[in-house]
Amino acid sequence: MDYIAHWIGGAERAGGSGRVGPVFNPATGEQIAEVALASAGEVAAAVAVAQEAAKEWRTASLSKRSAVLFKFRELLAERSGELAAIVTTEHGKVLADAGGEIARGLENVEFATGIPHLMKGSFSEQAATGVDVYSIRQPLGVVAGITPFNFPAMVPLWMCATAIAAGNAFVLKPSEKDPSAALFLARLWKEAGLPDGVFNVVHGDKEAVDAILVHPGIAAVSFVGSTPIAKYIYETGTAHGKRVQALGGAKNHMIVLPDAELDAAADAAISAGYGAAGERCMAISVVVAVGDIADPLVEAIAARLPKVRIGDGSDPSSEMGPLISAQHRDKVADYVTKGEAAGATVVADGRERENLPERGYFLGATLLDNVTPEMTVYTDEIFGPVLSVVRVETYREAVDLVNNNEYGNGTAIFTRDGGAARQFQFDVDAGMVGVNVPIPVPVAYYSFGGWKASLFGDSHMYGPDGIHFYTRGKVVTSRWPDPGTSSVDLGFPQTR
């Protein structure tokens, strides 16, 4: 059985804690590897290596950093197929989806290659007589990323590309459920010429997470995961003096107005609701049908579901793979049971084993109609292939539904009315908005993040916000007086 080690100082390092965790192939249910689980001491060792590496890396010229990023980008593009296969084996998502994940991560690397421009400050000549003032941005030192199982390649790339380009050393704690993608990235960084110790990987569970949150040598922590854990990460990290961006859960609504193009809305609901088996923080989990479009929309979605091909993600014909674990599959199925008991109409029941593979953690695409806001299938982030339909009569009711929800990650509206769409983006309380786009993940030169319980901290991820998160601003005021012209002045400095 394969053993997955840590990556510290530019090489694999076997775990020393004596603890390991199982890694499964969700499509078969078979254990395929063991992963080392780090102790606090092993986290400290990785941080010590990163601290030494950061001292040198921050002195590297911007052009040298950019050259490493360009080479890393080239290698990642060339070997994306290998990485996609690793993601599919350990996560379960289909190969096409794994490839798309890597492509979106690649966009962030491409953005980071522009670091010479992104790190530019400003300059004011003659702010006072003979005095110039200018601003610069400098790296924090050692920063850490704690990433989720659902995007084992993309989310680490959201974090590390920007952090490393800005001159920091990076310690990654990936999910222990699918850890191999992190090691693949580590090897690519080394091949690209990144100095040893600038990118490190420590695998682990809560013990490793807590060690990261309290270690005084880590200046900032980035996190993506569920809201309860995001809140814990933020509170613990900031209590120990760290800068923290913690992205939490979501309950993304797709509002469909009566004038929407029906087929486009139904296609989008299927794509955004069941892609990656619903294990996306930007998945559409609630369709809000406004007025008389509800019946034909539900019928159109239901008609498409039998055509969704469910199977092993490594099979190119599969469109939807398994869930990450048996426990999670059972949890998602239980939500369907509770929703039915609460009065929701089960239009398509993914709990039925017919046409599902015999092995693995599979659940079929589920569609629930007549869902109401007090049901757990509406209030909770299910993180599975369950799409709920809530019926309302007016646009205002639909917006209120979104705004009254505790989450504010992403939302979408489907309409042919430009005025209604513009009003929606003005009215809605969410960080990312799509207009006839069901999964509005921003491109790399913007930034990703939600509102309300979907984000803890004041900084979104990657893009311009990422540069600011991984650097500190410094303002320099300089004066070069002629010899013999200085004098003592105890008054407050004035710009004259």
pLDDT in tens, 239-269: 999 999 999 999 999 999 999 999 999 999 9
Burial class, 5, CB count within 10 angstroms (exposed 0-12 / middle 13-18 / buried 19+): middle
3-state secondary structure of 467: helix
Do 229 and 180 belong together in one domain? yes
User: What DSSP letter does each residue of 76-138 carry, written as one string?
Assistant: HHHTHHHHHHHHHHHH---HHHHHHHHHHHHHHHHHHTTHHHHT---EEEEEETTEEEEEEEE
Q: Residue 496 pLDDT > 90, yes or no?
A: no
Beta strands 252-256 and 284-290: pairing type? parallel
Residue 491 lies inside a defined structural domain of this protein: no
**Of 172, 390, 430, which is closest to residue 298 (Cα–Cα)?**
390
Compute the distance between CA of residue 35 and CA of residue 201 in angstroms, rounded to an integer.
12
CATH classification at residue 284: 3.40.309.10
**Of 342, 338, 314, which is closest to residue 81 (Cα–Cα)?**
314
Which pLDDT does position 78 carry in this prediction? 98
Residue 446 lies inside a defined structural domain of this protein: no
Instruction: Give the residue-averaged pLDDT of 431-435.
Output: 98
Compute the distance between CA of residue 405 and CA of residue 373 in angstroms, rounded to an integer.
9
pLDDT band at 493 (very low <50, low <70, confident <90, very high): confident
Which pLDDT does position 475 carry in this prediction? 98
Do 367 and 270 belong together in one domain? yes
Q: Residue 353 pLDDT > 80, yes or no?
A: no
**Of 390, 474, 472, 451, which is closest to residue 227 (Cα–Cα)?**
451
Residue 103 lies inside a defined structural domain of this protein: yes
**Of 283, 280, 257, 281, which is closest to residue 269 (Cα–Cα)?**
283
Q: Which comes out higher in pLDDT, residue 488 or 281?
A: 281
Instruction: Give the residue-averaged pLDDT of 356-381.
Output: 97
Do 243 and 306 belong together in one domain? no
Residue 483 lies inside a defined structural domain of this protein: no
Q: Which structural domain range is residue 27 located in? A: 2-248+454-476
Q: Residue 487 pLDDT > 90, yes or no?
A: no
Instruction: Give the residue-averaged pLDDT of 197-210.
Output: 98
CATH classification at residue 111: 3.40.605.10
Containing 390, the helix (H) or strand (E) segment is strand 386-392
Which pLDDT does position 488 carry in this prediction? 87
Do 229 and 258 belong together in one domain? no
Taking only the tens place, the pLDDT of each residue in 72-106 is 999 999 999 999 999 999 999 999 999 999 999 99
Instruction: Give the residue-averaged pLDDT of 180-202.
Output: 98
Q: What is the pTM of this model?
A: 0.96
Residue 197 lies inside a defined structural domain of this protein: yes
Does the annotation count 160 as an active-site position? no
**Looking at 8, 281, 336, 461, which residue is catalytic?**
281
Residue 440 lies inside a defined structural domain of this protein: no
Which pLDDT does position 87 carry in this prediction? 98
Which pLDDT does position 180 carry in this prediction? 98
pLDDT band at 355 (very low <50, low <70, confident <90, very high): confident
Which pLDDT does position 485 carry in this prediction? 80
Q: If you average pLDDT over every residue of the chain, what do you get?
A: 97
Q: Which amino acid is at 98?
A: A
Which pLDDT does position 103 carry in this prediction? 98
Which pLDDT does position 251 carry in this prediction? 97
Which pLDDT does position 151 carry in this prediction? 98
Q: Which residues pair with 22 in a beta bridge?
A: 34
Provide the domain count of the chain: 2
